[in-house]
Structure 1
Amino acid sequence: MRRTKKEFLDYNEYRDRPFGLKWGTAFAMDELVKGIDENAEDALKDLPPQSQMKREEIDQVLLQSFLYRQKVTIQLNTKDEFGRYLENIEGVFFGESDEEYMTIDQYQILWEDIRHVGLKQETKWFDVSDNKTHDKQSFRPIDWNNPKQQVELQLIKDEFYQAFEEENE
């Protein structure tokens, strides 16, 4: 099949690039694509408002965080320029507070800025019962009495088995 030569002609006052590569920048760089995805994710993020807590309720949650070294999530009353609540602050309360503010990790937070404080529920790395990303079939034990599994194991052995030198003699 013969192809015709590509010609880029000027149109009205538009002057195209003088070299033969017309769409050299059509494929975006990886950093640009990641930045676009992060911006889209940030634009779609909308944290629902939690209930406004009283100081006594906040103190109870912070006491439990202090005693058991549990992480807390704090939602502030502060909103961004689009009227959305800011991202929650997470950290452990080490007992540092006074009349005006409290300290979570490196953040000093004014008491009147706090909307809601809750204990963060951490999932353990070894707890696979709640993990829905794993296929439960892949964790089943081998039943040596099951003839179907014996056939599967025999097929695997026949396909990938390599004899040792002693067996070749």
Structure 2
Amino acid sequence: MNINIEGAITINAERSIVFDYISNLENDKYWRKEINWTAMTAKPALGALAEESSFLSKRAPNNILKLHCIEFLGNKKVVYQTVPGSTFYLKSSRLVEAISASECKVIYSLSFDNGIIKHALGFSLPMFVSRMVAKNDMKKYLATLKSILETGNVSHISKEEQQVKA
């Protein structure tokens, strides 16, 4: 059974800057605490592939997911999903809506197989507990994302990428 959660936050930054940042899964390690690393085979686009390592628990410190981009609407929406045949299902949707020239709303939706929790912990949790923990984590992720993008604290982005955005 899947857990589905959604969170939204307003960010004082241009939509294109926000979208460029959140559409690139290699940036997730800066705003999602469980991500060890992500490697993408290409820039974010329809069909792009990514491999992601997550620290789920001491029992699963390096959980690997292979994802592919199944929907890409430039400067607006990107959806990644586990590749067919994956042990666990995960779908991540990131939508960016312009509010004004310098402000936007991010809507982050996540759907994942509750079985991954049993894999990580060695036992199942009730769905409502899994959903509550995931929703709480999402709030923290979005607050971190907002802080990074509003303060310009993107020192991890290469100078070339920063110049392109300037």
Higher strand share: 2
Task: Give TM-score, length-normalised by structure 1.
Answer: 0.22
Mark the structure with the bigger radius of gyration: 1
